[in-house]
Every structure is written in C-alpha cells, then in structure tokens.
C-alpha cells in the first residue's frame, strides 16, 4: 500500500530554537528537564510516577498499564510529535527485589527531543506491558527481541514469538539474571536439540517462504499462518 508522506526535517517544528550543539559539562544527575516530561505530568498526573534526569537525558517512569496511552499521546500531540521509536528494551537488576524495567527510547525529529520512558514490572507478578505496536510499527521486532531475551509479554502485539532464538528453543530467556551463561542444558543436549530440527522449520513461512517446512512448524504457528494474511499488513 503506497501512501503519501512528507519528508521530516529535524528541528522543523522548533522554530526559533538555538542551533544544535554538542552539550558540554553535562551533570550526572539533575539539569534541565525535557519540556515533554512536564507536559506529560500535566496531561497524565496519575500515570507519571517520577521523572529523572541522568546525563542530561530525561527518563519518565510511567505506570505499566498506561504506557500505550502515554506513547500514543506523545506521538499524536502536535506539541510533542515523537515520531520515531528508537528502541524497546528491558533491564533486569542484580538485586532480585528490584523490579524489571522496560525502556522505550522515543525521539521527536521535528522538535529535536529525546525522551526515555520506563515502566517497572515487579517480580512475582506476570511480566506484561501493553505493546506500542499500534502506534509504532517498528516496535514489532523490538518487542519480539525483548520477549525472546527477557520473557516479557507485550499485550496487543500481533505476532509475539521468538526472533533471535528459534521457536523450539526450550531453555528459557537468555538475558535473565537467573539464566546460566552456558545455558541450562549440557552441550551435547543443546547440540542434539539444535540438530534435531529441520533447518527450514526454524524460520516461518513469511520469513523464508519455504512451503516444504510447513508441516514441521509448531501446531499453533501453522494455524496462525493458515488463517490468512498477518495483522498489520
């Protein structure tokens, strides 16, 4: 589907702003807060937990359940226009009591702004946050990677499955702190499992278009593929 688009010029909306320059002597903590953080506080007083400025970059801690609302407003509001999702990732801390943080890096090209959103997911509860895929289609693979490595469920993601490890990978989520560096199984068992599968079955049909591998795919995946075109296309 072709759609008319306009070329984004960085800083086009920030008329009268000083020309961008490399920041000097940025303090570790504190400093000017991004205007978007204040706007978020005014707009979502119940969703914003706190605002941190670290090395000159503003981090906004939001309620996990409200992430999609916040992101949608940041994307749509004419005073914010965060039109680029740079990254979705997660952080697990060595301290087991500390919650897992999901991190979204947003960039507003028209205003030359950067904003970091964080949501804290306490241990013990199901690790789930709303997917921002309805707003940013680029979140698709980023969230899949996050799910693959950390086991976070992104509610509303159209096709949440592993992306780096293969679909039949059974050892868990490699970037979690309780994951052994060499994996959970012995080397021979890992190799046996890796060699047992059909190489083409590692990839889905929409990735490689190998019809031969269809019968070897997991049942759930076959149903999804047989159901027709993928959502979002």
Partner 1 sequence: MGLTNRPAPSTVTYDPPSQDGWVATRLDFLVNWARANSLWPMPFGTACCAIEFMASAASRFDLARFGMERMSFSPRQADVLICAGRVPFKLAPVIRRIWQQMPQPKWSIAMGACASTGNIFDNYAVVQGIDTIIPVDVYVPGCPPRPEGLMYGIMMLQDKVKRERMKDEALRHEMVPDPTSKLYIPPSAIDELSEPFGNSVQQTRSGL
User: Is residue 35 involved in binding partner 1 (CB under 8 A)?
Assistant: no
Residue from 125, 182, 211, 233 in contact with partner 1 (CB under 8 A)? 182
In 3D space, the residue among 26, 35, 112, 104 whose CA is nearest the CA of residue 72 turns out to be: 104
Closest separation in Å from C-beta 126 to partner 1: 21
Closest separation in Å from C-beta 191 to partner 1: 6
Name the segment binding partner 1 (CB under 8 A); options: 3-11, 53-61, 166-174, 207-215. Answer: 166-174
**HSE-CB of 21 using CA atoms within 13 angstroms:** 7
Residue from 91, 183, 216, 225 in contact with partner 1 (CB under 8 A)? 183
Closest separation in Å from C-beta 120 to partner 1: 19
What sign for the dihedral angle of Cα 141, 146, 148, 153?
negative
Q: What is the pattern of x (binds partner 1, CB under 8 A) and - over residues 91-110?
A: ---x-x--------------
Between CA 159 and CA 153 the distance in angstroms is 11
Nearer to partner 1, 157 or 202 (CB): 202
Between CA 67 and CA 47 the distance in angstroms is 8
Closest separation in Å from C-beta 87 to partner 1: 21
Total residues in contact with partner 1, by rule CB under 8 A = 27
State how far the alpha carbon of 42 is from the alpha carbons of 39, 48, 169, in Å.
5, 9, 45
Q: Which two tokens stand for residue 163?
A: 């992306």
Cβ neighbors of 56 (< 8 A, separation 6 or more) are: 23, 26, 27, 31, 32
Residues that bind partner 1 (CB under 8 A): 94, 96, 165-166, 171, 174, 177-183, 186-192, 194-199, 202
């Amino acid at each position: 589907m072709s759609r008319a688009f306009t070329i984004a010029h960085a800083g086009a909306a920030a008329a009268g702003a000083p020309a961008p320059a490399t920041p000097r002597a940025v303090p570790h903590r504190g400093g000017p807060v991004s205007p978007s953080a204040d706007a978020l506080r005014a707009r979502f007083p119940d969703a914003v937990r706190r605002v941190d400025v670290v090395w000159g970059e503003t981090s906004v801690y939001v309620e996990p359940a409200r992430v999609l609302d916040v992101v949608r407003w940041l994307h749509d509001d004419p005073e914010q226009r965060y039109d680029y999702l740079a990254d979705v990732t997660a952080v697990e801390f060595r301290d087991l009591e500390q919650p897992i943080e999901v991190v979204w890096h947003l960039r507003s090209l028209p205003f030359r702004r950067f904003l970091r959103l964080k949501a804290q997911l306490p241990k013990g509860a199901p690790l789930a946050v709303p997917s921002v895929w309805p707003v940013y289609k680029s979140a698709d693979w980023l969230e899949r990677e996050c799910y693959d490595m950390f086991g976070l469920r992104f509610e509303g993601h159209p096709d949440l499955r592993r992306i780096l490890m293969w679909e039949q990978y059974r050892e868990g989520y490699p970037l979690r702190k309780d994951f052994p560096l060499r994996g959970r199984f012995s080397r021979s068992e890992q190799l046996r499992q890796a060699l047992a599968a059909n190489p083409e079955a590692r990839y889905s049909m929409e990735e490689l278009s190998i019809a031969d591998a269809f019968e070897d795919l997991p049942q759930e995946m076959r149903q999804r593929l047989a159901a027709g075109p993928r959502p979002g296309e």
